[in-house]
Amino acid sequence: MTQRRSPRLHELSGREEISLGSLSVEGRLAALSSDSSPRSQVYEIETGKVLLDVAEKGEVYVHLFSPDQKCFYLLTSNGWLSGWNLENGQPLWPPVQHPGKIRPATISRDGKIILSGHTDGKIRVHETATGRLLQTLDHPGEVKTLHFAPSSNNRFVSGSTDTQAHVWDLSTGRRERSFIGHQNTIISAAWSPDARFIATASYDTSVCVWDVFTGERVAPPMQHLAWLSHVAFSPDGSLLASACRDGTARLWNPLTGRPASPPLLQGDSAETVRFTDDGRCLMVRDQSGFRFWSTDKTEPVTLHYPEPEASSIGMDSESYRAIMTPDGKRVFLSNAMNYAATWSVPQSRLPAPDWFPDFLEGLGMMALDEDGASKLVPADTLRLLPSRIQPEDAYAEWALGILATESKE
């Protein structure tokens, strides 16, 4: 189903040369950072109210919200970490800096720990309450991806330029397992929902799925035609999605390595894949916009909405991908041209209501008769439809929006 009217609810004024925009997990708050200032701002999505507006000590590479959305953390490419109280706008502690440029970072599920991956081959473990450095883990290669395991505040996976992925245990500070088999940098990694498997995406143009307990690949590598950008498991773990720089996304059976879809033609370099929380839709973000796909029919369920990417923040920053609410109904995207926008995206997942065929015929002013020949529909078809539409789902939202637009024209 496509949509003619713009789904943008409102725009938030940002700074010049916006470099990074991201959502909090629930989608209540949004953050923007600028290279030219450099400054960062945190907004309430519904009201546009600015909760935080602070100067930074370098290019912001990562945004992190605490699970309760009361605190906000900024990590810069030149190694600075700062923390802020969003209730009063005050710093949590003096900013701290470490050697080695910061690339990926993540926050534990209880909000107590921040992991930062550095270009000097270190993973640094910080306490969010104080900013204090708790541990420094030696990592074989420049760190490119970091993710805590589901339901864990101690175990996490890393991937790097050493072509390997590693599982670590913070309670011991040691690597539990290494996954060896890629031939180039690992740019993205993801845990399966049950934490039994890890998927890795590499610049060697393959995706691999690994058994966490044995360290072995569970299926042949899933081959692509260009570098990979991102990988994600569906909420039930039955599908794996990959984003490729050849302009396609793909769905796979993670246990067999076989395609679960033809290539999903996005039209530009695909950079982010996100499943909705019910697993029925996949959002694919590319350099020029985004689109939602049905995961069962592997067909587009929305337009390709045009919204150029913000700037040059690398794909080793997961904040770059924190752009969608779990239900997929909102997408927040920033633009280097000094604005950010929230997009409301209706996605119907129910059978079409009985009035919908009449609506499409009225919109096109044509229908087919019993013999399959074209015929004109009555001119008042669209005018009479609102009395039949019950505003209970995305079909209604989309149709009523178009009818409102038609009436103005």
pLDDT of 407 over the 70 cut? no
Cα separation values, 34 from 59, 85, 226, 333, Å: 8, 20, 30, 14
User: What radius of gyration, in Å, describes the C-alpha atoms of the chain?
Assistant: 23
The model's pTM is 0.84
DSSP string, 314-363: -TT-GGGG--B-TTSSEEEEEETTTEEEEEE-----SPPPTTHHHHHHHH
pLDDT band at 214 (very low <50, low <70, confident <90, very high): very high
For 247-256, how does the pLDDT look when each residue is reduced to its tens digit (9 = 90+)? 999 999 999 9
Instruction: Answer with the one of 344, 377, 396 that is the final residue of a domain.
Output: 344
How big, in percent rounded to 5, are the helix, strand and coil portions of the chain?
A: 10, 45, 50
**Residues 404 and 261 placed together within one structural domain of the fold:** no
Cα–Cα distance between 409 and 395 in angstroms, integer?
A: 21
Tell me the average pLDDT across 1-15.
44
Cα–Cα distance between 171 and 182 in angstroms, integer?
A: 28
pLDDT of 2 over the 60 cut? no
Per-residue pLDDT, 48: 82
Per-residue pLDDT, 409: 54
Give domain status of residue 199, yes or no: yes
Per-residue pLDDT, 364: 72
Give domain status of residue 5, yes or no: no
**Residues 252 and 391 placed together within one structural domain of the fold:** no
**Residues 82 and 153 placed together within one structural domain of the fold:** yes
Tell me the average pLDDT across 94-111.
94
**Residues 336 and 392 placed together within one structural domain of the fold:** no
Q: How far apart are the first and last CA of the chain?
A: 22
**Residues 161 and 201 placed together within one structural domain of the fold:** yes
Least confident of 101-105, 112-116, 289-293, 398-402: 398-402
Which two three-digit tokens encode residue 341?
A: 């926008």
Per-residue pLDDT, 74: 97
pLDDT of 275 over the 60 cut? yes
Residue 368, Cβ density class (10 Å: 0-12 exposed, 13-18 middle, ≥19 buried) = exposed
Per-residue pLDDT, 349: 59
Per-residue pLDDT, 336: 66
**CA torsion, ordered 269, 272, 276, 280, to nearest 10 deg:** 40
For 12-51, how does the pLDDT look when each residue is reduced to its tens digit (9 = 90+)? 454 467 888 899 999 999 998 887 778 899 989 888 889 9
Per-residue pLDDT, 4: 35
Q: State percent of the chain over pLDDT 70.
A: 88
pLDDT of 191 over the 60 cut? yes
Q: State percent of the chain over pLDDT 90.
A: 60
pLDDT band at 5 (very low <50, low <70, confident <90, very high): very low
Helix or strand or coil: residue 145?
strand
Give domain status of residue 112, yes or no: yes
Give domain status of residue 2, yes or no: no
**Residues 114 and 142 placed together within one structural domain of the fold:** yes
Nearest to 78 by CA among 58, 104, 49, 103: 58
Nearest to 75 by CA among 65, 89, 61: 61
**Residues 381 and 275 placed together within one structural domain of the fold:** no
Give domain status of residue 349, yes or no: no
**Residues 292 and 393 placed together within one structural domain of the fold:** no
pLDDT of 79 over the 70 cut? yes
Cβ-based neighbours of 78, under 8 Å, separated by 6 or more: 57, 58, 59, 97, 101, 102
Which residues form the domain of 401? 356-408
Q: According to the per-residue pLDDT averaged within each range, which of 29-38, 194-203, 313-322 is highest? A: 194-203
The answer to whether 135 and 146 have CB atoms below 8 angstroms apart is no
**CA torsion, ordered 77, 79, 85, 91, to nearest 10 deg:** -130
Average pLDDT for the chain: 87
Tell me the average pLDDT across 229-235.
97
**Residues 307 and 374 placed together within one structural domain of the fold:** no
For 338-355, how does the pLDDT look when each residue is reduced to its tens digit (9 = 90+)? 677 788 887 655 566 777
**Residues 317 and 369 placed together within one structural domain of the fold:** no
For 59-69, how does the pLDDT look when each residue is reduced to its tens digit (9 = 90+)? 899 999 999 99
Cα–Cα distance between 45 and 301 in angstroms, integer?
A: 25
Q: List phi, psi (to 5°) of 363.
A: -65, -40
**Residues 131 and 195 placed together within one structural domain of the fold:** yes
**Residues 182 and 304 placed together within one structural domain of the fold:** yes
Least confident of 186-200, 256-270, 351-365: 351-365
For 369-393, how does the pLDDT look when each residue is reduced to its tens digit (9 = 90+)? 666 677 787 877 777 777 787 765 6
| Domains of the chain: total | 2
